[in-house]
A and B are shown apart, each in its own frame.
Chain A
């Protein structure tokens, strides 16, 4: 099976992508949105409230980064932008053409440091629990060891899943940092949610492929078949290939609809999920499964 046989190629590809992503994160940094860093709030009063799209396109033309325009009360608009310089402030006020400006103040972040700390803590616990769960659910995979010699124990399945998970979260993040640097796409609260969805999908997808490995190992034992671990993994990947492609295709189709027909506000979110689905499906087949074989080979000399 080419997937397992040429694993060094896939590893290299993934390593390059991860390295490039990490490089992007450290070199460019996150282009974080006003959700996380706060900015300025401007409330404009109108005698007759103009169309929201009009206001939005005018602010868009000022080129002052991410912003939000929300109707407030009877005739007002509340505009949130990044922190503005005096010049930008004047430009904004001119563009608004309001009857009067109710307030123009600075605001703090809506998602504060609490979110960051809590999200990181939650993800660490999630990763730990996933390793524990897989170690438990796959606890029988190394049982036929007597016959076949030193099969990888179940925690290695957990470890492979988590490596694939990191892969699936790091690469889309890197791509977004890249896009942030060149196209001004910002990292906002929705981005964090999107990463969580990718995390969920990645683990789900990997477990389905591993389940087939587990089943084939059991069947081999029952039928007294001797088979290389490498061949078993390759065969399992092959057998789940159709399912992997079809599942990701259906989700891909749905997300494409969200991207093209959905609200403008969730365009980047849909893009992030599309990247996550592609990379998550790739990693279950081309990273997580070959890793099992690599772990197996690493332990083999000890036999």
Chain B
């Protein structure tokens, strides 16, 4: 059949063109550049100052802050950011807490600053009994929160969930919030001990409402009322669900930062990858001869296709991601070796080349399928449950295995049949 010959030519031309468009031709290749992570090319460092002056458990508040901001950065699609707490002043004795946020590549730092800054800061504060007199006396002057409110340690950090609800009588949107176990106890304690006082709900330094505490609330549910539109309420509930800041933060500085694994890592890694690929190709060709050469061609197509997909999605390539890719290359090679070894066995039974490869593909398919399905299951679970570095690994592994199943089976098969089918 000439069909395999034509399909092979078509595949080679198509992938050659893809490779040229995406990697060689400057004009088109640069349209879709690779995205590299902080560890390989560096990025931008943003430093935020956290106001922990009112906080008793500084370390805990900073740990929560780190988690919230990390989640926040992750939702706008930055892959593998680095978020780290910094504590200054063990020399000066002054407490100065900061948060370092590093974003890979030349990210849009303004956008990042804005989004991190938009993380809501929710506080529940007791209104001082003399608040009204203080307010009346100081109508002209700016008042600090401390002048009218007493901190009771209840903040958005104890939130477990927020959702939009509607006031049954007026139909106005309100936010229903639920505290986590710790928050529930704290809320019950506050409402028990301060019956009859006002508890103000303060969002980003602005008081939304200050209802009078009627009775102890044990179930950890509360409502935030305010002059929201439906959309505002929805946005606020969403932001609260991604996490509320335990302490207020202000932007302090930003600067570029080099790669965490060193600036030469990427070049050295690419060089090592090329040497590895050549060594592996030599091995396959020397051991399996013509079929080996075919598998090297299939591997080239495999690599091109995977890298094109990495560019298109785009996948941020980090050391972890590249590890996932290397593993998937190994599995792609394995698929070819499985087929060839099977074909060899069939040949020893006296079959001709064509029959042997037919049988080889047929027999090897089950083990390729099942071993790859197990890898895909692993990749999906790690992507779903893992944190950033684990996710990066899982993503490239998953893509790599999927692509390898296609190329090992269809591409190698087409090439081999084109060569051996002389009927």
Give the interface of A toward B (CB within 8 A): 38, 41, 52, 68-73, 76, 78, 103-115, 118-119, 121-122, 125-126, 129-130, 133-134, 137, 189-190, 192-194, 196-197, 199-201, 203-205, 207-208, 211-212, 214-215, 239-240, 242-243, 246-247, 249-251, 253-258, 260-266, 269, 273
Q: Using known A-B contacts A72-B257, A192-B390, determine if residue A263 contacts B276 with beta carbons closer than 8 Å.
A: no
Chain B residue nearest in CB terms to A71: B258
8 Å CB contact of A114 from B89, B330, B382, B387 = B387
Judge whether B337 and A126 touch: CB under 8 Å: no
Once the chains bind, are A126 and B327 in contact (CB under 8 Å)? no
Given known A-B contacts A122-B385, A262-B268, A207 and B374 have beta carbons under 8 A apart? yes
Q: A114-B387, A192-B389, A261-B268 are in contact. Are A243 and B337 (CB under 8 A)?
A: yes
Decide yes or no whether B214 CB sits under 8 A from chain A. no
User: What is B's interface to A at a CB cutoff of 8 Å?
Assistant: 39, 42, 45, 62-63, 66-67, 70, 82-91, 98, 100, 255-266, 268-269, 271-273, 275-277, 279-280, 283-284, 287, 319-320, 323-324, 326-327, 329-331, 333-334, 337-338, 341, 344-345, 363, 366-367, 370-375, 377-379, 381-382, 384-387, 389-390, 393-394, 397
A207 with B371: CB separation less than 8 A: yes
**B403 CB to closest chain A CB, in angstroms?**
16
Contact indicator A108/B63 (Cβ below 8 Å): yes
Beta-carbon nearest neighbor of B377 in chain A: A129
The answer to whether B378 touches A126, judged by C-beta atoms less than 8 angstroms apart, is yes
Contact A211 B367 (CB under 8 A): yes
User: Are A129's CB and B381's CB within 8 A?
Assistant: yes
Contact of B377 among A103, A126, A243, A269 (CB under 8 A): A126
Given the complex of chains A and B, what is the CA–CA distance between A115 and B389 in angstroms? 9
B contacts with A: majority SS: helix
Some 12 contacts from A to B, beta carbons below 8 A apart, are: A72-B45, A105-B86, A107-B84, A111-B387, A112-B63, A114-B70, A130-B377, A193-B390, A246-B337, A257-B275, A257-B276, A273-B323
Chain A residues with CB under 8 A of B344: 242
Residues in chain A near residue B269, CB distance under 8 A: 258, 262-263, 266
> B381 touching A197 by the CB < 8 A rule?
no
Cβ B86 vs Cβ A52 within 8 A: no
- 7 tightest A-B CB contacts, nearest first: A257-B276, A262-B272, A211-B367, A263-B265, A108-B85, A254-B276, A122-B385
